[in-house]
Structure 1
């Protein structure tokens, strides 16, 4: 019989956004951010090389055009701070928002095959952003592709204006 800690080994158990640096937004955007966090916590692989594998808490902030990963242990004790420039992600996030706008407009007027084509492009841009995020975290934080996808969704959610 286990105490449940094995299920939390090498994974995020909490994600918090720094309200001071990210700020509040519209209720719809706040809802999308909560969904992105929920999805990330529900299914992820998150390991810090050189640190005991365990349950991690992630505090995300944006400071001086940088994404701050403040990783803590399950008791909220600091473990490591990684700071990534947002510059390499900006174009992909912008492209992702543009194609999402096209997708939502197409849903109202386009044929199913046109919608599917746009959706394939949207998923492709999302995958590209996820891979870039994984590459930027390489050697610092080990995540699988699905976790990188969820993290990229959250990075996008941080930029939604509503």
Structure 2
């Protein structure tokens, strides 16, 4: 008997299928920021690995919020049954979020008028800071929620989007 791979249209259980951002945590940004947020949510839902440990089987719904300088992950099963609220201090992420905002401002400014080489250099720096934020997020979620690098990158983008008001 030959093992065949599962059909590609079979939903993966360890994934997010709905992501919402707490509207009271969001301060609407400029069009560049809104675009980044929309892309991050779209990309996150298209492909992700998200597995809360000691939880019911997925897929999952995630509602992200900021409350009292803490990042709140409200988790539910696909049918909307809530099962976990995970709260992280934002303090360890504060510096990298601030650095990310600063370099993003430089990047968005550069794409309007700078030479391609300068834009590329700023973008490399932006990706480096983004990777650092993703790494920190993976560390902070360790033992609670398992995510891969790409999922952590997209979640970091959403955390930044929420952090405007937090």
Shorter-chain TM-score bucket reads 0.7 to 0.9
What is the deviation of 1:76? Answer: 0.9
1:14–1:57 Cα contact (<8 Å) kept = yes
**Which residue of 95, 98, 105 corresponds with 1:101?**
105
In structure 2, the gaps of 5 or more residues are 1-5
Choose between structure 1 and 2: higher helix proportion.
1
Question: Residue 25 in 1 paired to residue 42 in 2?
Answer: no
In structure 1, what is the equivalent of residue 130 of structure 2? 126
Question: Residue 148 in 1 paired to residue 152 in 2?
Answer: yes
In structure 1, the gaps of 5 or more residues are none
What is the deviation of 1:35? Answer: 3.1
User: Aligned pair count?
Assistant: 158
What is the deviation of 1:27? Answer: 7.2
**Which residue of 89, 92, 95 corresponds with 1:91?**
95
Aligned residues: CA RMSD: 2.1
Instruction: List per-residue Cα deviations over 1:81-140 (Å, max 9, x = no partner).
Output: 110011111111110111111122223343322221111111000000011011100111
TM-score by length of 1: 0.87
TM-score by length of 2: 0.85
Change beyond 3 A, Cα 1:100–1:24: closer
1:60–1:67 Cα contact (<8 Å) kept = yes
